[in-house]
């Protein structure tokens, strides 16, 4: 691992309060690798051998069942995934693959569990991380259960707009098929939803989307702090 990578990983809330000696020991046991795009890192049903930290690039979490596949989420720097499976010494419930060229830190699961038993600050950070993940799942479930497809798309566009600086346009970091899967829609329904949003100032230009009438879009979307704000 490059010396410049340690501060980046240290910034992750999971490790920020961890004792330095324990952090260094965990990093010495870890592996940092660069993967090209579309490489499968883990497969659902396999044992959780590592905790994964995305340092550069992005990783798609997805699942398959009965001939269907769905995108479950995307992890960008600096983000961890599959923490619950690591702590339970259980199998992965999702698969993961790189969406682009990515650098990924892999921490052996046994080292994570040992630190969980011995480092109180790390233990507290893990509890907070898992609580945030649980609340995130509840918000996603509310989004699916309480909104129409058009409302889900409108609110997702507003969320991306806020995260990208609120300058009137957004850049999609994944293709529209993945966006449709994230929103619980088919690509065809996503296309129809975008057409429905045209009168509300939504203009699609490839991966770039212009939001030309934010008040109208917000009136339609009716953002809810208990669904759309990741800090609640």
Q: Give the separation between CA 56 and CA 221, rounded to whole angstroms.
A: 32
Q: What pLDDT, in 10s, does the model give residues 50-72?
A: 999 999 999 999 999 999 999 99
Q: How confident is the model at residue 1, as a pLDDT?
A: 59
Do 13 and 114 belong together in one domain? yes
Phi, psi for residue 77 in degrees, rounded to 5: -65, 150
Mean per-residue pLDDT over the chain, rounded? 93
Do 18 and 119 belong together in one domain? yes
Does the predicted TM-score (pTM) go above 0.75?
A: yes
Q: What pLDDT, in 10s, does the model give residues 153-210?
A: 999 999 999 999 999 999 998 889 999 999 999 999 999 999 999 999 999 998 999 9
Q: How confident is the model at residue 2, as a pLDDT?
A: 60
Give the confidence band of 212 by pLDDT, cuts at 50, 70, 90. Answer: very high
Among the listed residues 130, 4, 110, 15, the one whose alpha carbon sits nearest the alpha carbon of residue 56:
4
As a whole number of Å, the CA-based R_g of the chain is 19
Q: Averaged over 12-39, what is the pLDDT? A: 93
Q: Give the separation between CA 68 and CA 56, rounded to whole angstroms.
A: 29
Do 99 and 203 belong together in one domain? no
Among the listed residues 104, 84, 91, the one whose alpha carbon sits nearest the alpha carbon of residue 40:
104
Q: Give the separation between CA 182 and CA 186, rounded to whole angstroms.
A: 10
How far CA 134 is from CA of 16, 123, 129, 137, in Å, comes to 21, 17, 9, 5
Using a pLDDT cut of 70, give the percent of the chain over it. 98
Do 11 and 125 belong together in one domain? yes
CA atoms within 13 A of residue 167's CA, in its CB half-sphere: 5
Give the confidence band of 230 by pLDDT, cuts at 50, 70, 90. Answer: confident
Do 126 and 11 belong together in one domain? yes
Do 115 and 26 belong together in one domain? yes
Decide if 122 is inside a domain. yes
DSSP 97-147: EESSSEEEEEEEHHHHHHHHHH-HHHHHHHHHHHHHHHHHHHHHHHHHHHS
How many Cβ atoms sit within 10 Å of the Cβ of residue 38?
11
Q: What pLDDT, in 10s, does the model give residues 105-158?
A: 999 999 999 999 999 999 999 999 999 999 999 999 999 999 999 999 999 999
Q: Give the separation between CA 188 and CA 146, rounded to whole angstroms.
A: 21
Decide if 185 is inside a domain. yes
Decide if 137 is inside a domain. no
Do 12 and 124 belong together in one domain? yes
Q: Averaged over 25-32, what is the pLDDT? A: 92
Q: Averaged over 17-46, what is the pLDDT? A: 94
CATH number at residue 102: 2.60.120.10
Decide if 141 is inside a domain. no
Do 125 and 23 belong together in one domain? yes
Do 126 and 69 belong together in one domain? yes
Do 107 and 174 belong together in one domain? no
Do 57 and 157 belong together in one domain? no
- Top-confidence residue, 10 or 19: 19
54 and 77 Cβ atoms separated by less than 8 Å: yes
How many Cβ atoms sit within 10 Å of the Cβ of residue 215?
9
- What's the gap between Cα 138 and its chain centre? 15
Using the predicted structure, report yes or no on whether residue 4 has a pLDDT greater than 70. Answer: no
Q: How confident is the model at residue 10, as a pLDDT?
A: 85
Q: Averaged over 27-35, what is the pLDDT? A: 94
* Structural domains of the chain, count: 2
Q: What domain range is 101 assigned to?
A: 5-131
């Amino acid at each position: 691992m490059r010396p410049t990578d340690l501060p980046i990983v240290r910034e992750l809330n999971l490790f920020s309060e961890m004792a330095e000696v324990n952090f260094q020991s965990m990093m010495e046991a870890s592996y940092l690798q660069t993967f090209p795009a579309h490489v499968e890192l883990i497969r659902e049903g396999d044992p959780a051998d590592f905790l994964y930290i995305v340092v550069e690039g992005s990783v798609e979490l997805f699942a398959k069942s009965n001939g269907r596949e769905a995108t479950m989420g995307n992890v960008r720097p600096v983000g961890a995934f599959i923490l619950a499976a690591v702590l339970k010494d259980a199998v992965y419930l999702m698969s993961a693959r790189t969406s682009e060229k990515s650098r990924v830190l892999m921490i052996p699961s046994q080292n994570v569990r040992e630190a969980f038993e011995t480092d109180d600050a790390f233990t507290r950070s893990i509890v907070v991380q898992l609580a945030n993940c649980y609340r995130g799942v509840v918000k996603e479930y509310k989004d699916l259960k309480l909104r129409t497809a058009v409302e889900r798309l409108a609110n997702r566009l507003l969320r991306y707009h806020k995260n990208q600086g609120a300058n009137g346009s957004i850049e999609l970091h994944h293709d529209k098929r993945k966006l449709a899967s994230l929103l619980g829609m088919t690509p065809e329904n996503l296309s129809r939803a975008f057409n429905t949003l045209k009168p509300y100032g939504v203009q699609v230009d490839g991966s770039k989307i212009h939001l030309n009438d934010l008040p109208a879009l917000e009136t339609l979307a009716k953002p809810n702090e208990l669904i759309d704000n990741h800090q609640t």
